Chains A and B, each alone.
Chain A
Amino acid sequence: MTNAAIEIQGLTKDYPVGFWRKRMCRSLDYLTLRVEEGETFGFLGPNGAGKTTTMKLLMGLIFPTAGTARVRGRSIDDVRMHREIGYMPEQPYFYDYLTARELLEYFARFFGYNAVERRERVRRFLELVGLTTASDVQLRKFSKGMLQRVGIAQAILHDPQVVFLDEPMSGLDPVGRREVRDIILNLKRQGRTVFFSTHILSDAEMLCDRVGVLVGGKLQGVGAPEELVSMEVLGMEILFEVRAGSAPPTSMAERATHAGNRYRIEVAEADLYSALEELRSCEARILSVAPLRPSLEDYFLKLVGREKATRPPIEVSLV
């Protein structure tokens, strides 16, 4: 008796390439993965790694060369499986001659609601994604961000137990992204399983119980974000501001990076308090003190095989 929401076994997809379509290009290589009920799972990977291919295979849009998969115990070949899942494709394309409301009503019809229920649901979910005012505008007039929201709405309006989102944050402004994050968190709170792909690692870190990293069609690592990166503290980071006209303490001047009169410096954990003392003596204003740990991004990049990223220049954004 398993309560795996998603069970993928050796899923493989080959595409014929070349002029005569004789050579095979393997876009997914024996993916084996298991996602439990209620988990929020992040599917990470660079572009072209095979994330969308995986989703399309699970949705039955394309067919596997080998392997099987089950969602909530039902094979992906079983049409009944689709009652319990929601799917938001990577680039949402919908019937542009319909309005948002009409589209959602159309899709809602596939789930057997009566007219009253349908209308109510559509209204509720249009509100949830913030499209109430645009609900009677034809989709061909929608911006990408608005289409993205329609995409989410149509994926969840039938209260599916497992939700598949392919790059849900892409094309959204920060406000939009936060709204999507909130929706995902809400789904999580409702005990639903969320499987989403992204290449925004900070989102993954924040939202996911576990992540899987797909590179070149192969699953490279699976686990909770904090499991994948070590807890080792590499040092402390201090952000400070000097008074107008002054300069930072000489011992720090070379090692610090700055923008305007905002400075950033890394010190060894043992040197933290002496450094703070120095800053206090020149009346610098301490903005933040934080431990340096390897991030998911480091792990990610290491997997992808590139060199460790250099720390980016100081970018203090007011959030």
Chain B
Amino acid sequence: MSTMPAVVAVNTFREAVRDRVLYNLIIFALMMIGGAILVGEISIGVHQMVIVNLGLSAISIFGIIMAIFIGVGLVHKEMEKRTLYSLLAKPIRRWEFLVGKFAGLLLTLVVNTALMTLGLTGALYYVSRTFERSDVAILVAVYFILLELALITALALFFSCFSSPLLSTLYTLGIYVAGVFAPDIKGVGEYTQSPAMAAGARFVYYLLPNFHNFNVIAAAAHGETIPFTLIWHNTLYAALYVILILVAASAVFSGRNLK
């Protein structure tokens, strides 16, 4: 019975894989990474740093695009196309369906990110002909990107339960951008004179998903090690937030009348 989400997940993955748009995005991303090699040639001495910076940024951006692009249609498309009719007549609970869709898209993103990371590692190896210990920082950065993508996917899925793809994209993007500037929102709270503003800013700061947490691209570019406690805390943060969003999505979706 608890395998229902897995069944849906595998099928969601299959659907994503058969979607041609995905391949275009991956190719574009790999092109960017390849381009990074050329750009890096220009500035001697910081070659690797530039490749890592550009490469990780590309992986992050394309991951986000994919997560939102597919995510906002996850539930909405099934409702519009009525494929849900026959599916929900099977012994599957609505929340199991949601979790399955989420897991399927996440799996897709993991696979794509892994492919792109392979490309990045390849580009680095091409340039430096060696692997260094500091390259582990890159893997950690990629892991953080995946945590970020998990959150974005969950958000997109949540909105997909009740709003059109266009609106869902706007909402998800909006929250993402706000989350990236989270520390600045916190800063406003610390800088302002009015206690009401300060309290409001602090409240919003803790409420929003803090995407800034996951941005260790610069650190990775410098080959810095990221402490394990931070990795663990961020994983927990992402996990709890994803659970929160899925619980909310389940509450919304479980009462929805399908047209």
Do A and B actually bind? yes
For B91, the closest partner residue in chain A by CB is A82
Q: Which of B85, B87, B88, B92 has the most CB of A within 10 A?
A: B85
Report how far A110 CA is from B11 CA in the complex, Å. Answer: 12
Report the interface size class on chain B: 20 to 34
Considering the complex, which residues of chain A in the window 75-91 have a beta carbon less than 8 Å from any beta carbon of chain B?
A: 79-80, 82-83, 85-89, 91
- For residue A83, which residues in chain B have a CB less than 8 angstroms away from its CB? 91
* Chain A contacts for B19, CB-based, 8 A: 97
Please tell me if B184 contacts chain A, counting CB pairs below 8 Å.
Answer: no
**Least CB distance, A95 to chain B, in whole angstroms:** 6
Q: Given A56-B258, A62-B258, A110-B4, check contact A93 B91 (CB 8 Å).
A: no
A86 vs B82: C-alpha distance when bound (angstroms):
17
A48 at the interface (CB under 8 A from B): no
How many residues on the A side are at the interface (Cβ–Cβ under 8 A)? 30
Give min CB distance, B98 to chain A, whole Å: 14
Cβ–Cβ contact B15 & A107, under 8 A: no
Q: State A93–B257 Cα separation when bound (angstroms).
A: 18
Whether A89 and B85, one on each chain, are in contact in the complex, defined by CB atoms closer than 8 angstroms, is: yes
Q: Are A85 and B7 in contact (CB under 8 A)?
A: no
Which residues of chain B are within 8 angstroms of A62 by Cβ–Cβ distance? Answer: 257-258
Q: What mask results when residues 74 to 111 of chain B are scored 1 for a CB within 8 Å of chain A, else 0?
A: 00000001111111111111000000000000000000
Known contacts: A61-B258, A110-B7. The answer to whether A151 contacts B91 by CB under 8 A is no
- Tell me the bound Cα distance from A94 to B85 in angstroms: 9
B18 at the interface (CB under 8 A from A): yes
* Nearest B residue (CB) for A166: B85
How far, in angstroms, from A87 to B89 measured CA to CA in the complex? 6
Contact A89 B258 (CB under 8 A): no
Determine the residue in chain B with the shortest Cβ distance to A106. B11
What would 19 more interface pairs be, CB under 8 Å, given A61-B89, A97-B19? Answer: A59-B89, A60-B89, A61-B85, A62-B258, A79-B91, A79-B93, A82-B89, A82-B90, A87-B85, A88-B86, A89-B85, A89-B89, A91-B82, A94-B83, A97-B15, A97-B18, A109-B7, A110-B7, A154-B86
Q: Which 7 A-B pairs have the closest CB atoms?
A: A87-B89, A82-B91, A62-B257, A89-B85, A110-B90, A93-B82, A61-B258
Binding site for B on A (CB under 8 A): 56, 59-63, 79-80, 82-83, 85-89, 91-95, 97-98, 106-107, 109-111, 151, 154-155
